[in-house]
Amino acid sequence: MRRDLFDDVHEDFRASFRAFVRNEIVPHHEKWEAAGRVDKAMFRAAGELGFLGMAVPEEYGGPGEGDFRFNVVISEELQRANVIGSGMCITLHNDIVLPYLLGATTEEQRARWLPGFVTGETMGAISMTEPGAGSDLAAIRTTAARDGDHYVLNGSKTFVTNGMNCDLVVVAVKTDPAQAHRGLSLIVVEDGTEGFGHGRHLRKIGLRSQDTAELFFSDARVPAANLLGEPGTGFGTLMRNLAQERLALSVSAITGARAVLDWTIDYCREREVFGQRLSSLQNTKFVLAELDTATDVAQVYVDHLVRRHLTGDLDPEDAAKAKWWTTELQQDVVNRCLQLHGGYGFMEEYPVARAFLDARVQTIYAGTNEIMKEIIGRSIDNPRGGERR
State the angle between helix axes of 84-91 and 234-270 in degrees (0 to 180), rounded to the nearest 10. Answer: 150
Q: Are strands 124-127 and 184-190 parallel, antiparallel or unpaired?
A: unpaired
Provide the β-strand partners of residue 216: 156, 197
CA distance 174 to 141: 7
Q: Are 319 and 246 in contact (CB under 8 A)?
A: yes
Is residue 156 within a helix (H) or strand (E), and if so which, with residue range?
Answer: strand 150-161
By annotation, the residues acting in catalysis are 245
Q: Are 165 and 38 in contact (CB under 8 A)?
A: yes
Q: If phi over 0 gives left and psi between -120 and 50 gives alpha, with beta otherwise, what is residue 216?
A: beta
Count Cα atoms within 13 angstroms, Cβ side, for 142.
29
Instruction: Look up residue 20 and give its DSSP letter.
Output: H
Q: C-alpha distances in angstroms, 228 versus 28, 114, 172, 185? A: 36, 14, 10, 8
CA distance 144 to 96: 23
